[in-house]
Structure 1
Amino acid sequence: MNQNTFAPLILSALAGVSGTAFATQYLTAEQAQQTIFPEATSFKPVNLQLSLEQMRQVEKLAGLPARSVAWRVAAAYKDDKLLGHVVFDEVIGKFELISYAVGLQADASIRQIEIMTYRESHGMEIKNANWRKQFAGKTASSNLAPGDGIANISGATLSCSHVTDGVRRIAAIAQIALLPAKK
């Protein structure tokens, strides 16, 4: 065989070894907002910047570091009435990022979560509606841990754990920084 015969074989072998070809985008940010708050007539960006004191409060309430000062948030309105907020975040699954959105009622309770992009080869079961429904109605003071209020999924253990941690962090941020009395 000559060199030209080996090149395609080597390239196809390298393509199989490098990079993940499992990324699936389920929803854009705009689609996630509309899915979580279908009755909303408008969404407005919220500039959420946590102070050092708020970051400490989030860590205490969530049992996790606040991780970031700036958060991507959209407020959902029906006409002039605030329905709640959508907070966008990413966590590591096993190796890759999972993008998700958390819908929060105006009282900071969780309305629903949506998986926006899943990049792992395993663990896509967290996209299942029954798993995601477990979060509805929970708050920062609820049991928000795999095996304690949230079921774990065999084969998706790290995805379950990391998304649940992220949701718990966002619930604490909502309690500390998004409730009207807290602003």
Structure 2
Amino acid sequence: MKSLNLAALVVATSASSAAFATQYLTVEQAQQVMFPDATVFKDANLQLSGEQMQQVEKLSGLPARSVGWRVFAAYKSDTRLGYVVLDDVVGKFELISYAVAVNADASIKQIEILTYRESHGFEIKSPAWRKQFIGKTPASGLYVGNGIASISGATLSCTHVTDGVRRIAAIAQIMLKK
């Protein structure tokens, strides 16, 4: 009897955590939202060298975390408008998938939450919160409490997404800046 109750609890817990997952945008939709003038998006995936990973860590104050990064270059005809960088960070327990649009000068153009899987903290999807990142670089207030406000009840999501964006901003400065 106890094993049946335990099994029912496991199923109920699994179902409740999965029920909170919300996909807001696909990668393709995010690309179009962030670069509406783009006529084409080309794969521009990055592979960081050991030296570049050290530079990212120094510039962002965070571990570089990965050698490979999924990146798309946005073009209008032959003119490169910028890049879309995809990433996932852990909120409190679950992954948050998001995209960062980077201008040609390597500043942040925009961020979009693609999929949010946590039961709390979805307020980071708010345009007002995401707007704080526009124009930022690793050296210009890309920290919760210093340039980026936190949201009560979404502290970990705010912090982890902000850290992820700061890491991507550092990668952009090192690898993508014109």
TM-score with structure 1 length normalisation?
0.91
Name stretches of at least 5 consecutive residues in structure 2 with no aligned partner.
none
Q: Secondary structure at the match of 1:40?
A: coil
- CA RMSD after TM alignment: 1.7
Q: Return the alpha-carbon distance in structure 2 between the equivalents of residues 32 and 17 of structure 1.
A: 31
Distance 2:31 2:148 in 1: 23
The amino acid that maps onto 2:75 is Y
Q: Which residue of 1 aligns with 2:120?
A: 122
Separation in structure 2 between the aligned mates of residue 11 and residue 42 of structure 1, nearest angstrom: 49
The amino acid across from 2:11 in the alignment is A
1-structure distance, mates of 2:98, 2:117 = 12
Residues 25-68 of structure 1: CA deviation (Å, up to 9, x unaligned): 01111111111001100000003111111100000000001100
Tell me if 1:15 matches 2:15: no
Alignment of structure 1 residues 1-183 onto 2, 5 Å: 13-19=9-15, 20-21=17-18, 22-180=20-178
Letter of the structure 2 residue corresponding to residue 147 of structure 1: G
Distance 1:98 1:168 in 2: 15
Number of paired residues?
Answer: 175
Shift of 1:10: 7.4
TM-score w.r.t. the length of structure 2 is 0.93
Identity between Structure 1 and Structure 2 (%)? 70
The structure 1 segments of at least 4 consecutive aligned residues displaced by more than 2 Å after TM superposition are 9-15
Measure how far apart 1:141 and its partner are: 1.1
Q: Who wins on radius of gyration, i.e. which is larger?
A: 1
**CA shift digits 1:113-171 (9 cap, x unpaired):** 00000000000000000000000011121111111000000000000000000000000
Find the aligned partners of 1:25 and 1:18 in 2 and give their Cα distance.
18
- Tell me the amino acid that sits aligned with residue 109 of structure 1: S
For structure 1, the 5+ residue unaligned runs are none
Cα distance in 2 between the residues matched to 1:160 and 1:57: 24
Query: Mean Cα displacement is larger for which, 17-26 or 69-78?
Result: 17-26
* 2-structure distance, mates of 1:10, 1:93: 27
